[in-house]
Structure 1
């Protein structure tokens, strides 16, 4: 077969269903054109047409579907203009571009997220977690990402955070003192800065932070003579 011909409105293959007798007595092939139906551009997407050579070294055309941001493809991504008997047709039905939505993220103990009354969230929509007031002597700390983004079909940008009590011991530095960050209680991400008394030098970091495991991070430094 000669290679297929692409027109502005369709993709074509040539077939030879008959012959034509001419005055010189020669038999010449008589060709008729077969075309794949024109594909309409998908709503909220587009088509990229690609020519290719298959394993049998025959030329063809592929319709590659791409959805706009915020939409996902429902159906077959690539369609091929194929010969079927005496006809040419696309290998599958055209897909559709559907809007990306997320189901509500997970509820967490001792906390809540914004717009928790909604049944679905749109692509790029943000929810913000916060902790509820504690009934005990210590407040809850939000551990993890407070803002989650709907980044794909039922996909959030990260796991939900936790609301729990994170509390570090009062910072004590032998032969040293706390220079900043003094308070009665040290909860998650509380920060203090220390320094050594005169005649001692600091071994370690001068700034430490109350970490998620109720320990100072990095560990408290030492003042060495």
Structure 2
């Protein structure tokens, strides 16, 4: 009994390359830059020829669309926001910005610095 070669799109094998994978063989994957792992990075071949836990997925890192009440987006509109994407906001008339107007999507899918607020005078 052997396990088939495990394949994880957008990942690289960190350890465990073998010509054949017998029970108790282990492999560890790491997602390439710009991707985040969903699942466990280390797998083990079980006695039934299956990898456990299930083979992970590497999904593209994106930031959620930033929303600022009482403001308009003045630059950086995209269908999806990947790391290094930048957006700039401007508060509507009569509102004052608390925080930085320009944000950048980081490699973890978070906006930095923190999303600003526009508050009334």
What TM-score do you get using the length of structure 1 for normalisation? 0.42
Of residues 66, 74, 78 in structure 2, which corresponds to 1:105? 66
Unaligned runs of 5+ in 2: 17-22
Report the CA distance between 1:131 and its aligned residue: 2.9
User: Does structure 2 conserve the Cα–Cα contact (< 8 Å) formed by 1:141 and 1:163?
Assistant: yes
Of residues 111, 116, 120 in structure 2, which corresponds to 1:156? 111
Report the CA distance between 1:76 and its aligned residue: 3.3
Which residue does 1:38 correspond to in 2?
5
* 1-structure distance, mates of 2:115, 2:84: 16
* 1-structure distance, mates of 2:120, 2:53: 56
User: Following superposition, which runs of at least 4 residues in structure 1 exceed 3 angstroms of deviation?
Assistant: 163-166
* 2-structure distance, mates of 1:124, 1:36: 39
What TM-score do you get using the length of structure 2 for normalisation? 0.70
Report the CA distance between 1:66 and its aligned residue: 0.9
Of residues 73, 86, 104 in structure 2, which corresponds to 1:126? 86
Alignment: residue pair count: 114
The C-alpha deviation readout for 1:90-136, integer Å capped at 9, x for no partner, is: 21332221111222112232x222234x443122211112234x36x
Unaligned runs of 5+ in 1: 1-33, 51-58, 167-225
Of residues 48, 52, 56 in structure 2, which corresponds to 1:95? 56
Cα root mean square deviation, aligned: 2.9
Compare relative contact order (CA 8 Å, sep 6+) and give the higher one, 1 or 2. Answer: 2
Residue 146 (1) aligns with residue 101 (2): yes
Report the CA distance between 1:69 and its aligned residue: 1.5
User: Does structure 2 conserve the Cα–Cα contact (< 8 Å) formed by 1:103 and 1:119?
Assistant: no
